[in-house]
Amino acid sequence: MSGNPLRSCQMEEGAVGVATGEKSGPLIERLGIGRRTLVRWKARDDFRRRVTELRTEMTRESCGRLATKMTEAADALSTLLNTDNERVKLRAAGQLLALGTKLRETVDIEERIQLLEDNMLKR
């Protein structure tokens, strides 16, 4: 981001702080910079791009963890279908149907987007 290695390291740490939602006060104190420096960094295209890259990476990792837990959650709901309590069984069935429909819609949209992107690349 900058020619000065110390500044680049500080800017990277600043980008991580901004990407993770760290408050400006603690961030500038931790980095040992002035408030105006952080404001200038936030105005730079390369800094904003790095913040976006970091957030994208964090989101991707979170989605992977959630996908694993979604399987466990579906298993837990499926187990509730075997209960003798009709209210619990009905709520579990409703949740499974609602979540299954939402997931199917999401997968369909992702497939359509992928097809569109593939077709655009062929042109």
pTM over 0.85: no
Compute φ and ψ for 5, nearest 5 degrees. Answer: -60, -40
Report the distance separating Cα 14 and Cα 24, nearest Å: 9
Tally Cβ neighbours within 10 Å of residue 2. Answer: 15
Q: In a structure prediction context, what are the per-residue pLDDT tens digits for the chain, which is 123 residues long?
A: 656 555 689 999 999 999 999 999 999 999 999 999 999 999 999 999 999 999 999 999 998 888 889 889 999 999 999 999 999 999 999 999 998 899 899 999 999 999 999 999 887
